[in-house]
Amino acid sequence: MHIAYLGLGNMGTEISSRLATFSKANNHMLTVWNRSQDKYGYLRAKIDATFAKDLEEIKGADVVFLMVLNDKASADVLGRVLEVCPTAIVVDQSSVNPKTSIANEKAAAATGARYLAAPVFGRPDAAAAGKLIQVVSGDKEAQETVRPLFDVSARAVVNTGEEVYKATTVKLMGNAMILGMMEMLAEVYALGDATGIEPDVFQQFVEMFFPTPSYQVYGRKIGQGSFSAAGGFRLEGGLKDANNILSVGADLGHPVPLPTIELAKKHMLRAVEMGGQDQDWSSLSAAVREEANLEPYLKKEEK
């Protein structure tokens, strides 16, 4: 089997690294590609694969994974993939609008390809440990074909059926919960700072009462004011997801008010103004602190 993985950001790097190990053990071929190729140098030591300079080099791939930043990139890269792999199974792990998934499926079907919407939950460190939660929808036979590839980096697979919009909708619903959690953490940590409660003390409670990676990781980031996006998720992506979350109800025919997400989006926009879009999306807490008349950033170097 010839597998291609397109998109070597924080998440794509870890997933493709695990796929490289799997491919070598099972006599598969893995080709990886990234739009910006300046990172190829140091990634060659991490990913045992063929590094493509042009998408023409993935020609004939049986399974093509996409992990790109936004909806436009998903549609654009898919179009180029279908030119060289017109009958491939395309596994789109990007977080996109359900409308994009529907359009992508139609584009793939027109050339004889099969498109799966397959976003993941988890941070890059979870991918590296094989502990992602994989969500998928689309053609049943295609799902069965790629299931062993999902198991390489995921501890569980959630099958939402054959309608591709469902997996991307579930992804947005899950990200809405994470974004709402960060908004609430930002508010209560600001309250603690204003009333003399040490963040490390409150973090002990958070980790005991909510023993999940999201609460633990984002609680520490917000409590410490540490917003490096290395190994995480940048504000640019967070704002893209927030916009898709806010529009998904209307896009699918039934608008739903989401006031918590509106508030979190406002705070992310303010964080971009203060520190730029390359901060981790948990930096929305800087805007919450500013509204509470606290110093926005605990660590000046993180701006």
Q: Which residues are catalytic?
A: 171
Beta carbons of 252 and 259 less than 8 angstroms apart = no
Q: Which residues contact 201 (CB under 8 A, 6 or more apart)?
A: none
SS3 (DSSP) at 188: helix
Q: If you search the block for the tokens 């060289």, which residue do you land on? A: 84
| Rounded distance between C-alpha atoms, residue 273 and residue 171, angstroms | 27
Phi, psi of 52 (to 5 degrees): -85, 135
Q: Residues 241, 252, 171, CA angle at the centre, nearest 5°?
A: 35
Beta carbons of 76 and 103 less than 8 angstroms apart = no
| Rounded distance between C-alpha atoms, residue 219 and residue 211, angstroms | 11
Terminal Cα-to-Cα distance of the chain (whole angstroms): 45
Beta carbons of 123 and 96 less than 8 angstroms apart = no
Tokens read off for 168:
């991307």
